[in-house]
Structures are given as C-alpha cells and as structure tokens.
Structure 1
Amino acid sequence: MTTEGLLATCWTTAGDAEPGSGDERSPLGLRERAEAAGAAGFTGFGLLYPDLVEAERTYGLAGIRSLFEDNGLRHVELEFITDWWNGVSRDTAADAVRRHLLTAAEALGARHIKVGPDVEDRPWELDVWAEEFAALAAQADEAGARLGVEFLPWSNLKTVHDGLRLVEAAGHPAGGLIIDVWHTERAGTAPAELAKVPGSRIVGVELDDADAVVLGTLFEDTVRRRRLCGEGSFDLPGIITALRTAGWSGPWGVEILSDTHRALPVREATQKAYRTAAALL
C-alpha cells in the first residue's frame, strides 16, 4: 500500500477501447469506471477527451467533479492535445479540443493536461515548438493545471532527453514531462538517467510493464501487450527509486494497455492494476 497515491490513467479503466481505433470512446459509463477506480484504491483518474465529451453530456462538468469527489478521486488527468505546435487557429477542430480541455481542467480542478508529440516524426524546429509549448503551458497555468508532454519512442520526441530539451527551452514553470516507463524502457533509457531529470519538470509518471522482446511495431506492442506491474521484464523497483531520487512523490499513474486487460470486467481489471502497482511502492 502506498501513501503517495495511484492514478488510474484513462486506458486502465476504459474497458474494450484502445488508442488508434476509429472510435476511442470507452463503452463503459463514467460512473461505473469511477466507482471501480475508487473501490480499487485509486485516488486519481484519467479521462480521454472523447469520454469527457460523453460524460459532460450526461453529468455536466460540475456533475463529473462531484462523481470524482464521491469516489475519492482527487487527482484528475485530462488528455490529449495534439497539433498544438502549429499555433492557434480559431476555426480548427484541434483548437476546439484545446479550448474545451482547458475549460474542463479549470472546472474539474485537474492537476494536469497531457499533450502529445508528432507521431509522424516529421522535421521540427525547437524554437517554434518551445514558443508554442510555453504559450499552452501558460494557458494551462491560468486554468490551475500543469501541462505535460508525453514523449514516445516512435515520434519526434523519442526519449526523456528529447522531451526535457523541449520543456527547458520553453521555460514555463507549468510545463513538464509525462514519464511513461514503457517509453523510457523501449527507448533504452537507464534508471540512472531518470534520476537526473529535474523534479520540477516531472508533471506525471506512468507505471506499467512489458516483455523483453517487442512483437510487431512499437505502437502495436504498447497497445496490445503491456503487462501488469511486476509481471514483465522492467526493473520497476530501480525505476521507481530513480524517479524518487529525481524528486517525484506521486501520484503515480498506472497505465495498463493490453488485449488481456481490455477483456476483463472493469472492476477486476482495475483491482489488478492497483494491486500490482501498489505492491511496488
């Protein structure tokens, strides 16, 4: 059991839904998911934008906040903003998502909003990206939240070092990194390197595990074959120690993505995700 708190990221409670599918919405209602997370012991909850839209139709933002509070979920994570590096264009769908998530973050008292890199790995300019990231971080700060960029080993921000280079260049104190240990392990980043990350630049951490060998593409492997914490090849005790050395004290996100996990009833899936992560902390 940990006193630092565990946050169930969006996919951990989403049931039969996955990234990259035509419709990423969870087939489960938010109440069922929040109750499962709270009952398992989680004190935080992640919500994907399409699921936020559905839940807002049912409960309104005030109702969502009450639902989280009723289930002891005090740490709220919202995702995912993409295409932020092209600046604000008032008539684009991407900007509508951006503005909606900022509004929701303020209403829900969210601790942070996640943003993504360019998954097509196209050429990019640090100065341009840093300026746009700083502007978005300032907007998140105004909403009472932080902004975390999640680096991905198949994107233009492949490693923790790439992500840190961006957030340091941006310079805004509300901006930082989401460190998913799946991505650091697949990028070959040693725990000792994680210990050197400035604690002020860590916005969130996500725990999970995986087999030593990648099957298929990195994206296929991360979506279909993640393992519960402690059931794969990662040196999670070493990684956790390194992140604590860097200054991270939680809440620790738990992001389990796999065909096996999606097939389980949400209460069972959520309980397993909590129990295996808490055992390491």
Structure 2
Amino acid sequence: MTTQDLLATCWTTAGDAAPGRHDERSPLTLRERAEAAGAAGFKGFGLLYADLVEAEREYGLSGIRSLFADNGLVHVELELLTDWWADGPRRAASDAVRLDLLRAAEALGARDIKIGPDVEDKPWDLEAWAREFATLAAQADDVGARLGIEFLPWSNIKTLHDGLRLVEAAGHPAGGLIIDVWHTERAHTPPAELADVPLSRIVGVELNDADSQVVGTLFEDTVRRRRLCGEGTFDLPGLVTALRRAGWTGPWGVEILSDAHRALPVRDAAEAAFRSAASVLG
C-alpha cells in the first residue's frame, strides 16, 4: 500500500442516498459503484449495512469479493453498527446486524467495521461502554478486522478526546477511532492535536471539506452541505500533516455527503471525490 491509497467511503458512491432517510439504501447496483470507484482510482470501498444486505442477495459474499478484486478495491470497510451499548429490543436488533457484519467482514477480508455513538446524547457510563466496546473489538479481531468508532459533535462522544477516552478505557488493541475531519473541525479541535493521537488508536481517516458557517443543525449540515476537499474552509493541509506526523499512511477515506454530490452521475461523483482528495494529499 502506498501512502496515497484512497478509500471511497459508503456515501461517496451511493448516489441519491443519505443518512437519516427512512430507506438509506443506494439506488445504484454495487457493480455500478465498484466500477466507478475503481475507474476513478480508489483502492478501497465502504459499504453500508443496508447495501451489504442487498448486494449479498444479488451477488453472494464471494461475488462481492470478486467484484471488489476485479476493480482493484483492496481495502474494504463495513458500516454502521449502532445500539451496541443498548438492551432490550434495540440491542436484539443491533446484535443481529453485528453478526451479519462480522460474518461479512471475515468473508470479504474487511479492514475495519465502523460503529456509531449515541446520537440521542443520553447519559452514559464510561465503564459499561468500555466493556461493550472491548467485547466488540475482540469479535472484530477474531474475523481479522479492526473496530472503529466515529465520534460526532452532536452525540455522547462529541470529540476526538471523548473517543480516545473510550477506546483507551476499553483497552483492546483492535479498537480505535475513525477520524473524520468534518467532525474534528466542527468540534473545534485544533488540527495539531491530531498529531498526538497514538497511531495504534487510529483505525480510519476521512477527508472532506465544508464552509465556515454551519447551516441548520450539525446533522443537516454534515449530510447536505459537505464540500469536495479543497473547496471549503478546513485546514486540510494542516490536518493531513498532523495525521502523517501521528504515523498515518492510509488508506485515506473520502466521505463526500451533499445534495450536489448526490445529484451527480456516480462516475462523475467518484472522479471528483478522488481528484480533489488526491490533490490535497499532494
């Protein structure tokens, strides 16, 4: 792997699909998406659970693996597990998704499984969460993957430092953070602080850009108004330099979520995402 390998995260090639919709599935086939990502130059691909279910029905897991291989996509990321800390019916539903993600991760040789925090931002117990996280990290490790939690400024794990507190408390070497620069910037974390994150705790990195002003809620802004790398106000050179200083060599995820991006033909969307991110990486 070179230091320039780029991974198209799940929304970057999803077409007219977005987080928070009643049906989050991409209207595109996995073949269309994988071919667009590979043609653009991406070496990795992210797949949302809802799309994984559809793709497995259409191609089988071995077919998905072949599709990725045929298009040069060697870094596979699966997402998104939520309610892994819950109990009752929500936990039962989450556990069913967990088993599917673990099974698919093993079959596809996935590099990581991405999980989310509590977006309702309810009171939470660090010790209990760390225990659940460690169990999940061990399960990911058993299938050859790593476990990454993405901190979100509107959730119970709002910042880089909140995320580090959780993964350090959990203590499992397979567990760490997904660092999306949108979330570090919107949480007002200075780019230089990323240089101090232990490399062992960085599972994935996601690049994107945005305007200086948030429009609507943070969730609305992140889903509807992200910009291509270099087209917003983020200090992406500073962020990339800090992450490289921490030891990160990739793959670099590219996560573009916007009304404008969703409206593009998938090949144009993938090409624009790749070209702009590659330019920032130099």
Q: TM-score, normalised by structure 1?
A: 0.98
Q: Matched residues in 2 for 1:207 and 1:236: separation?
A: 8
- Does residue 17 (structure 1) correspond to residue 17 (structure 2)? The answer is yes
Q: Retained in 2: the 8 A contact 1:192–1:242? A: yes
- Counterpart of 1:219, as a letter, is F
How far 1:32 moved relative to its partner? 0.2
Q: Matched residues in 2 for 1:96 and 1:174: separation?
A: 21
- Counterpart of 1:19, as a letter, is P
Q: How does 1:161-240 map to 2 (within 5 A)?
A: 161-240=161-240
CA displacement 1:86-141 (0-9 Å, x = unmatched): 36989822111010000000000000000000000000000000000000000000
Q: Give unpaired runs (5+ residues) of structure 2.
A: none
Q: Which residue of 1 aligns with 2:115?
A: 115
SS in 2 for 1:10: coil
Q: How does 1:92-111 map to 2 (within 5 A)?
A: 92-111=92-111
Q: Which residue of 2 aligns with 1:47?
A: 47
Q: Retained in 1: the 8 A contact 2:84–2:91? A: no
Q: Retained in 1: the 8 A contact 2:167–2:176? A: yes
CA displacement 1:204-242 (0-9 Å, x = unmatched): 000000000000000000000000000000000000000
- Does residue 144 (structure 1) correspond to residue 147 (structure 2)? The answer is no
Aligned in 2, Cα 1:88/1:114: closer, same or farther, shift over 3 Å? farther
- Counterpart of 1:265, as a letter, is P
Q: Retained in 2: the 8 A contact 1:81–1:98? A: yes
Q: Matched residues in 2 for 1:89 and 1:173: separation?
A: 30
Q: Retained in 1: the 8 A contact 2:4–2:278? A: no
CA displacement 1:241-262 (0-9 Å, x = unmatched): 0001111110000000000000
- Counterpart of 1:6, as a letter, is L
Q: Matched residues in 2 for 1:34 and 1:87: separation?
A: 36
CA displacement 1:6-32 (0-9 Å, x = unmatched): 000000000000000000000000000
- Counterpart of 2:67, as a letter, is L
CA displacement 1:172-212 (0-9 Å, x = unmatched): 00000000000000000001111111010000000000000
CA displacement 1:121-180 (0-9 Å, x = unmatched): 000000000000000000000010000000000000000000000000000000000000
Q: TM-score, normalised by structure 2?
A: 0.97
Aligned in 2, Cα 1:156/1:268: closer, same or farther, shift over 3 Å? same
Aligned in 2, Cα 1:74/1:174: closer, same or farther, shift over 3 Å? same
Range moving further from structure 2, 263-272 or 84-93: 84-93
Q: Retained in 2: the 8 A contact 1:77–1:114? A: yes
CA displacement 1:28-87 (0-9 Å, x = unmatched): 000000000000000000000000000000100000000000000000000000011136
Q: Retained in 1: the 8 A contact 2:76–2:112? A: yes
- Does residue 155 (structure 1) correspond to residue 155 (structure 2)? The answer is yes
SS in 1 for 2:196: coil
Aligned length: 280
Q: Which residue of 2 aligns with 1:29?
A: 29
- Counterpart of 2:236, as a letter, is L
RMSD: 1.3
Q: Retained in 2: the 8 A contact 1:141–1:174? A: yes
Aligned in 2, Cα 1:164/1:16: closer, same or farther, shift over 3 Å? same
Q: Matched residues in 2 for 1:90 and 1:142: separation?
A: 24
Q: Matched residues in 2 for 1:206 and 1:239: separation?
A: 11
Q: How does 1:49-88 map to 2 (within 5 A)?
A: 49-86=49-86
